[in-house]
Amino acid sequence: MGKLKAIVFDLDGTLYTSRELAAEIHRVACSAIALQLGACFEEAEARLAVAKRALVARSGREATLSAACQELGCDIRALHSYLAENVEPEPFLKRDERVLDMLARLARDYSLLVYTNNNRQLAGRIMAAIGVDSHMERLFTIEYCWRSKPDRGVLENIFAEIGVAPRECLFVGDRYDVDLRLPEEMGCRSYLTKSIDELLRLEGFADCGFGDNRGGE
């Protein structure tokens, strides 16, 4: 393994956790899909669930909202425009000084970036509300290529743009299939976190040279 230069964080469920905000994003997404399908909310929610199950059955991997939306023949630009206008993230979020202190320390040694399937407006508001925006050198959102994670071409563009080789990157995320599997296949290191306590252990992992915490997964 080469020297680590960059840490690429997922945003939602990784740099913060909020079941309530996740539920609100799901609710607004179902409303957006209902509009596009000309269906009621309940039908849109049911069809979204069916689409996600079909994707999982086909690929054997976790399905994203963007992929399920496209599976239904919907336009992800319209979905994200609706989400950006209709989700108010701030009431669900608060700063966690432990996370911010850790990011400040990591930022001394590494470039810190966010790569999210969320859109620029909503991601920006979330990052400002939790206070991580000032620590991040770059933010890559769905608008970057309009192709959702996981996507090899988008990752290649990101590596080229930040001037860092895959072996010099650590990816941090809460969904292995979405955030970590492909970067790992391309030679990156990875760190799976499903809670803020696990995220805070990232620094100890750094002290161990950033191996791989996936265990038997």
Residue numbers at the binding site for Mg ion (CB under 5 A): 10, 12-13, 174
Q: Which of these, 88, 95, 86, lies nearest to 127 by C-alpha position?
A: 95
Q: On the CB side of 65, how many CA atoms lie within 13 Å of its CA?
A: 23
36: phi then psi, degrees, rounded to nearest 5: -70, -35
On the 0-12 / 13-18 / 19+ scale of CB atoms within 10 A, 147 is middle
C-beta of 40: minimal distance to Mg ion in Å? Answer: 28
Structure tokens at 8: 């690429």
C-beta of 12: minimal distance to Mg ion in Å? Answer: 4
C-beta of 25: minimal distance to Mg ion in Å? Answer: 11
Q: Name residue 16's beta-bridge partners.
A: 12
C-beta of 94: minimal distance to Mg ion in Å? Answer: 18
Task: Using the minimum distance from each CB to Mg ion, give the nearer residue, 34 or 123.
Answer: 123
Task: Using the minimum distance from each CB to Mg ion, give the nearer residue, 13 or 166.
Answer: 13
Residue 11 near residue 114, CB atoms below 8 Å:
yes
Task: Using the minimum distance from each CB to Mg ion, give the nearer residue, 34 or 175.
Answer: 175
Residue nearest to Mg ion (CB): 13
Distance CA 154, CA 167 (A): 16
Task: Using the minimum distance from each CB to Mg ion, give the nearer residue, 111 or 193.
Answer: 193
Cβ neighbours of residue 60 closer than 8 Å, sequence gap 6 or more: none
Q: Name residue 171's beta-bridge partners.
A: 8, 190
For residue 11, what is the DSSP state? -
Task: Using the minimum distance from each CB to Mg ion, give the nearer residue, 36 or 121.
Answer: 121
Task: Using the minimum distance from each CB to Mg ion, give the nearer residue, 34 or 188.
Answer: 188
C-beta of 30: minimal distance to Mg ion in Å? Answer: 19
C-beta of 126: minimal distance to Mg ion in Å? Answer: 11
